[in-house]
Amino acid sequence: MVSILFSSMFLYECTVDKISEAIEKAGYDGIEFWVETPHFWIDKDENKLKSIKNFKNAVHSAVLDLNPASINRKVREVTITEGLFSIYIAKKIKADLMTFHAGKRSAAREPVDEDYQSLHDYVRVMKKYAEIKGVRISIENSENGINNLCRTPEEIFEFVEYYDISFTFDVNHALKNKNADRFIELLSDRIENVHVSSFDEKGRHVSARKDKRVAMILEELVEFGYDKIITVELDDLGYRRLYFQDKVEELRREKEFLEKFFRT
């Protein structure tokens, strides 16, 4: 049965305890916990995670200021360190899946072989540690910037097959790249997490329930028998000012939208 989660960064201003409260009030199964959620990230105090341990969670690796394909060796090294920490945290909160970004070429140009080799180095290390910790890692399809790695289904397929890892299908990114159908066609049996949102004029992750394109993608997933994780991924900058209860209500409405497809 599908587990419905939401990204913790929608509640970036809240404590972890408050995020736990939102899970229950909005009726979710758990969260995709971004390790960079500020209340936790500021000191990485693991005691703060107690309130979310018993939900059905996933983890999103650290990405801010990081890049596994950076031309800067020290940036790559820190990215690996934080990626390993993300896997460690996944184990701590009983999450089976950790999603990571593929990164980008440092210059605003099409990626080259050296960039992909850096990503291979990163995935190789993540995979080994994830196996030790009993966590699965999952690569996410990238935004449509010219220098982003893994924007296409074929690129994602290469890494998923070579390392025997999972795929996190970001609907927002795929719609912008106009390749959502191909992702489902090529990788339906590898998808373990689906990030669901539409986008506004600035490309920000906003409500999916009014976007017919998102509904069509969800219908395709249903036809393929998808039954893993669905994650509501929203950016509050795409909304008017929202208070805690407003955010809980928005999450509840998005969950009800998803349930029409996966829990009828």
Tokens 């995979």 belong to residue: 127
| Domain range for 256 | 3-262
- Predicted confidence (pLDDT) per residue in 181-217, tens digit: 999 999 999 999 999 999 998 989 999 999 999 999 9
pTM metric for this prediction:
0.96
| pLDDT for the residue 69 | 98
Mean pLDDT value across the chain: 97
> Could you tell me if 142 and 151 are in contact, meaning their C-beta atoms sit under 8 angstroms apart?
yes
- Predicted confidence (pLDDT) per residue in 3-35, tens digit: 999 999 999 999 999 999 999 999 999 999 999
Q: What residues pair up with 166 in beta bridges, in sequence order?
A: 138
CA distance 147 to 170: 18
pLDDT at 264 over 80: no
pLDDT range class, residue 104, cuts 50, 70, 90: very high
Nearest to 61 by CA among 134, 123, 150, 2: 123
The four Cα atoms 81, 96, 235, 35 give a dihedral, to 10 degrees, of -30
- Number of structural domains (the chain) is 1
CA distance 102 to 122: 9
Region of 220 on the Ramachandran plot (φ > 0 left; ψ -120 to 50 alpha; else beta): alpha
Span 40-47, mean pLDDT?
Answer: 97
Provide the CA 43 distance to its chain's centre, in angstroms: 22
| Range of lowest pLDDT (112-116, 165-169, 192-196, 198-202) | 198-202
3-state DSSP assignment of residue 120? helix
pLDDT at 263 over 90: no
Q: For position 19, which CATH number holds?
A: 3.20.20.150
